[in-house]
Amino acid sequence: MADKKRKRRRCLADTDCQGTVEIQSVTYPLKVGKKTIEVPNVEVWVCQQCGERFYPAESSRKIETYKRYSGLLTVRVDPELHARLARQAQAHHRPLNQEISHLLEQGLRRSA
């Protein structure tokens, strides 16, 4: 778990804890069925006294995205397009899945 930033705030627990929370960036272990997947770079507020963890709304949305979408996407394409993608991936020294992911991400950035 890597720390991203360190800010201090009062503990938000419903107890009489007078501790302070430190904002950290962690890898969140998410159980999906029988598997545990890692959600990277999740901001969490951790109380330094009672150990209670608090997840801001943005972090909760990120975790929910990982719950709903596995990252596995099956797409049927024309064999000629498949061949072109494979050649382009080879030219960029990337696996085909990584090349397709890169191209999809670029396309989404342009359309936004």
Residues 47-59 pLDDT 10s: 998 989 999 999 9
How many H-runs (helices) and E-runs (strands) does the chain carry? Answer: 3, 4
Average pLDDT over residues 90-100: 96
* Residue 1 included in any domain: no
What is the CATH number for 54? Answer: 3.10.20.860
Average pLDDT over residues 70-92: 95
- Angle at the Cα of 90 from the Cα atoms of 84 and 95, rounded to 5 degrees: 100
Same-domain pairing of 85 and 52: no
Residues 41 and 10: beta-carbon distance below 8 Å: no
Q: How far is Cα 12 from Cα 94, in angstroms, rounded to an integer?
A: 46
Number of domains in the chain: 2
| Alpha-helical regions (H) of 42-95 | 57-68, 79-91
36 with 83, same domain: the answer is no
Q: State the pairing for strand pair 8-10/35-47.
A: unpaired
